Amino acid sequence: MRTATKYLWFNTKQQREYINITETIQEIVAKSGVREGMVLVSAMHITAGVYVNDAESGLIKDIDEWLEKLAPFDSSYRHHGTGETNGDAHLKSLLIHHEVIVPITEGKLDLGPWQQIYYAEFDGRRRKRLVIKVMGE
């Protein structure tokens, strides 16, 4: 079995951002030489996430508004008693989740017709990273 590991760094300009990383992940898969296998894309921070969905701007806004309704910014989170102010970002990350596994077939990401891979930032304006682990034959 062949493996390859790559790290991507992000430093977003906004507190919450959704960044389409599909093309970058495909480039990493292509360089790995893996033709059949899986790629793991995982946020290495507890206030960020990774998800697969449609690359449609209205849907991205809907996702953001939905997350804000379920885990709104609020100064009353117990976590804020530790000196932090990002309790909502931790909860949003739990809702989106921190990783995805995508199949690789014939050297390409095997996604559905509208599926794209996104990095979701919930506590931005500081440096964070993703790990990409390609595994297969």
User: What does pLDDT average to in each consecutive run of 10 residues of the chain (137 residues)?
Assistant: 98 97 98 98 97 97 98 87 89 97 98 98 96 98
Amino acid 81 reads: G
Cα separation, 66 vs 118, in Å, equals 16
pLDDT of residue 84: 86
Whole-model pTM: value is 0.95
All domains of the chain, ordered by start, with CATH? 2-136 (2.60.120.460)
CA 132-6-33 angle, to 5 degrees, is 85
pLDDT of residue 100: 98
**Among the listed residues 96, 135, 134, the one whose alpha carbon sits nearest the alpha carbon of residue 7:** 134
Cα separation, 56 vs 115, in Å, equals 10
Residue with token string 């919930």? 122
Q: Is 64 helix (H, G, I), strand (E, B) or coil?
A: helix
The rounded Cα 47 to chain-centroid distance in angstroms is: 10
Cα separation, 13 vs 76, in Å, equals 25
pLDDT of residue 80: 81
